[in-house]
Amino acid sequence: MRTLLYTITLLFFWMMTGPSLLAQQKINLKQAIQMALDNNPGIKAKQSQIKQAQAKNKQVKSSFLPQVGILSKYLYTNNLPNFYPLLGKDIPVMDAGGQTGEHVTLHPMAPYPDLSGDVLTMDLNAVYPIYTGHKRENALKLTEQLQKAYAKNMDDSKALLSYKVKQAYYNYLMINAVIKVYEDVLKQLNDHLAMARAAYKEGLRSEFDVISFESKIEEFKAKIIDMKGKREVVATAFSKLIGLPDGQTAEFTGNINDFFRQEQAGNVAIDQLYNGNHKLAFLSDMQQVLHYKKAMQKAAKLPVVFAFGNYHIYHGKDFPPFNQTWRNGYAVGLGLKIKLFDGNNSRYQMDEITAKQEELENYKAGLKLKLDIAYRKTLETINSLLAQKQAHEKHLKVAEKAYEIAKTAYKNGVITNVQLNGAHLQLSKIQVQILKIEKDILTQKAYLKYLAGQIF
């Protein structure tokens, strides 16, 4: 009884705390990307494309095996002896003196009246193509190349999804960092309020200073609430992006400054874009698919040599004098099939494939041009943001120094609360601007990695 009660208590405790513990899991960037890749419906659709190509590959492989089939017929006829009519033979009419000069036509089945009956035929046929002009071999290579093309298409979708995850992740971390800045400002404002109250009691400051700081504190409390609301919206959207189950939330770990320091060294080179871009690789693979398709089309004009075998069974009324009701036998041999003229259809199909290859080549040239423009534009944006960050860091040092001076001056009654607040707010404003710049730089570098085909 005691054991049962203990078990029920544990079960109740797990039901109350288990889901909440699960919902509070911590997720880093790499885990978030992997979860998105595992759960995204678009990626699963691309995987289905690869499965289709694999199925086509198996279909082609089956053509290397003999094709076996049965053809059977059952019928009822009312003219069975004439079912396979034979030519008659003219016979001279004789009398005592010899031939009379007249003839009658006799048929082998003439003595037998027309009969009705049923007939059953059955043929077992086996055909194996010995030579197809390498059509099957090229079809096999085509399906293998198609799998590679679809895999590159899926990799491009994965890289794009990874880029979106990074965008959301950096945005979440930036909002987190801004909240910490605002919380630090709130802490400093509370310190200012304490100073103002102490000075007011000593008659050194007016009640206006106290009210002013209290107003600023409420203002920053509202800002923090607003930013936390934005963080909640971003976290909810992010949870959907990575496929987190409904009812579960997660804490996304990391620090925007740490990520910035990690990504600070080096940039993606333009050659990495050309060599790693999955869209370019997909177009190249599709060109190769068309190459094998053209080879298959050429093979369609070549002779096809095949071996065949047949085993047949026949049941029905036979022709006199062969009055057996069952017959069977077999046949084996070689066959040759040659397509002599198809109305130039194959020629026009070849022209269509060639035009498609040219189209893909033009797409590749256009994509390379777009990659080059995007690469240069992104680098310019990164360099501009870095210059802005460098300038803001200098402003930050000045603002920090100005704030320290302002605090001392306020304590000594030299400046007003408005001036102290101005120095303090300028410091927090620069800190937030630096965080946004770092987030933008990280996003731009993530975009370059996407163009270069990098997923993690």
> Angle formed by the axes of helices 417-451 and 256-263, to 10°?
50
- pLDDT value at residue 79: 59
The whole model's pTM is what? 0.79
Q: Token match 């002009």: residue?
A: 133
Residues pairing with 69 in the sheet: 125
Number of H helices, E strands in the chain: 10, 8
Is the CB of residue 385 less than 8 Å from the CB of residue 436?
A: no
* Three-state DSSP state, 122: strand
The residue type at 376:
R
The 10 Å Cβ neighbour count of residue 250 is 19
Which residues neighbour 446 within 8 Å (Cβ) at sequence distance 6 or greater? 162, 163, 166, 167, 170
> Angle formed by the axes of helices 41-62 and 135-201, to 10°?
170
Residues of the chain with pLDDT under 50: 1-2, 4-23, 84, 109-113, 320-323
Q: What is the largest CA-CA distance in the chain?
A: 170
Q: Would you say domain 27-63+132-301+345-451 falls under CATH 1.20.1600.10?
A: yes
Locate the domains of the chain by residue range: 27-63+132-301+345-451, 66-131+304-337
Is the CB of residue 169 less than 8 Å from the CB of residue 260?
A: no
Q: What is the CA radius of gyration of the chain?
A: 43
- pLDDT value at residue 80: 56
Q: Which of 253, 258, 166 is nearest to 449 (CA)?
A: 166
Q: Whole-angstrom Cα distance, residue 226 to residue 108?
A: 107
Residues pairing with 104 in the sheet: 91
Calculate the CA 306 to chain-centre distance: 41
Q: Provide DSSP, 95-112.
A: ETTEEEEEEEEE-TTTTS
- pLDDT value at residue 11: 47
